[in-house]
Structure 1
């Protein structure tokens, strides 16, 4: 047992980001309730970050926050906020204002350009976590800051999470979440697409959303125009 009363350690958590494209409360409520109904086990009482970068009209923040939380989602932070008044309202409510990874890189590059200093090189994700054994139901495997490769089957009820890409060279059931830290360029590669849920940077499909012609086939999933897309894995 440690002699100190507390320890402060870094950690990583998988969070969904809800991108709000308008501030009309009832429209948002209905849209969120529809999403939660599609995946209650995944989204019911889920912790989420609200991205408000697309909201440019005056926002009734207390009402908006109440609408989101009334659906059962737990708002743990807000990202993409540029309006000083809205920032002050969010801060007064005690919610943290977050900066997503991609925004940090862009801001650092902009500040370096303004100062005349050469920009720092951004080191891409190069490490890989390799799993050779079958991933059983109830298992949860997370690959922080790297890609994840599974050379065996993934059972229903299992969960794969990676900040980078995910490759599955076997039957891919269960839940598969790539780009968990917000990397919208992450992809999912698999030889047998039969997942319960697939997600890239928080944008997800349930099994019912997977096009029938790709179900059970070798496939490659990626984001295009903020939507999941699938194509054959050649």
Structure 2
């Protein structure tokens, strides 16, 4: 009789990391609901991790798990936990994770920055001189993101500013992550799984038209995603 097959392998998965000063159930519910209202399909059953700090005291992790279930989200675990927070989270059945330096939030539950304020703050640029591979996530906080390579399927590039990709975009690109609808995504070959600007998004099915596999510019126009030739 043959041995039953069982194998454990390491792999990389993209998780959204929530950073918030207020991790009370009421505070987090309000912030998360605001993001869900912007793009309900994008976050449906999304796997998420909560970033903890020593200042986060007396958290009810069981109540937080119930909140995520109610919102159709999946709370995988926490990161940055103190020894006491680690015990409390594990007692609630949550994983305690260590995230790499490039692991950044897809959507933070803070209030979106209004467009006027964004325009007053000069954007810096973050340059990545390599291809972004599946499972990797790059976030340019308060900056434009420039990728001198491609973005592989299963990878994510996120920026509070514009995104420039000097290669093929096969993964996900999220520009204007802080809420600025004036930001844009530029790529030399459009084959994306998802593009998003300030919470508005299109999936691959909607992108496969006139500009598919061409140099393209993705922007907001009349409260909707619009694509033009680059």
- Give the TM-score band, short-chain normalised: 0.5 to 0.7
Aligned to 2:151: 154
Aligned to 2:113: 101
1:20-71 deviation digits (Å, cap 9, x = unpaired): 7xxxxxxxxxx95xx3xxx5xx531467xxxxxxxxxxxxxxxxxxxx9745
Between the aligned partners of 1:147 and 1:103, the Cα distance in structure 2 is 16
Aligned to 2:35: 17
Q: Secondary structure at the match of 1:101?
A: coil
Aligned to 2:120: 122
Asked if the contact 1:178–1:188 (Cα under 8 Å) also holds between the matched residues in 2, the reply is: yes
Q: Secondary structure at the match of 1:212?
A: coil
Asked if the contact 1:101–1:182 (Cα under 8 Å) also holds between the matched residues in 2, the reply is: yes
CA RMSD of aligned residues (A): 3.4
Cα 1:102–1:229 shift into 2, 3 Å: same
Asked if the contact 1:160–1:175 (Cα under 8 Å) also holds between the matched residues in 2, the reply is: yes
Asked if the contact 2:216–2:227 (Cα under 8 Å) also holds between the matched residues in 1, the reply is: yes
Question: Normalised by the size of structure 1, how large is the TM-score?
Answer: 0.55
Segments of structure 1 that go 5 or more residues without pairing to the other structure are 1-10, 21-30, 48-67, 75-96, 107-120
Between the aligned partners of 2:198 and 2:114, the Cα distance in structure 1 is 12
Displacement after TM superposition at 1:100 (Å):
2.8
Asked if the contact 1:46–1:72 (Cα under 8 Å) also holds between the matched residues in 2, the reply is: no
1:190-226 deviation digits (Å, cap 9, x = unpaired): 0000011110011111100114111110000001121
Asked if the contact 2:164–2:185 (Cα under 8 Å) also holds between the matched residues in 1, the reply is: yes
Aligned to 1:169: 166
Structure showing the higher helix proportion among its residues: 1
Between the aligned partners of 1:98 and 1:195, the Cα distance in structure 2 is 27
Between the aligned partners of 2:228 and 2:116, the Cα distance in structure 1 is 31
Cα 1:226–1:73 shift into 2, 3 Å: farther
Aligned to 2:9: none
Q: How does 1:1-234 map to 2 (within 5 A)?
A: 17-19=35-37, 32=40, 35=41, 42-45=43-46, 70=70, 72-73=72-73, 99-102=111-114, 105=117, 122-125=120-123, 127-233=124-230
Regions of 4+ moved over 6 Å: none
Cα 1:178–1:103 shift into 2, 3 Å: closer
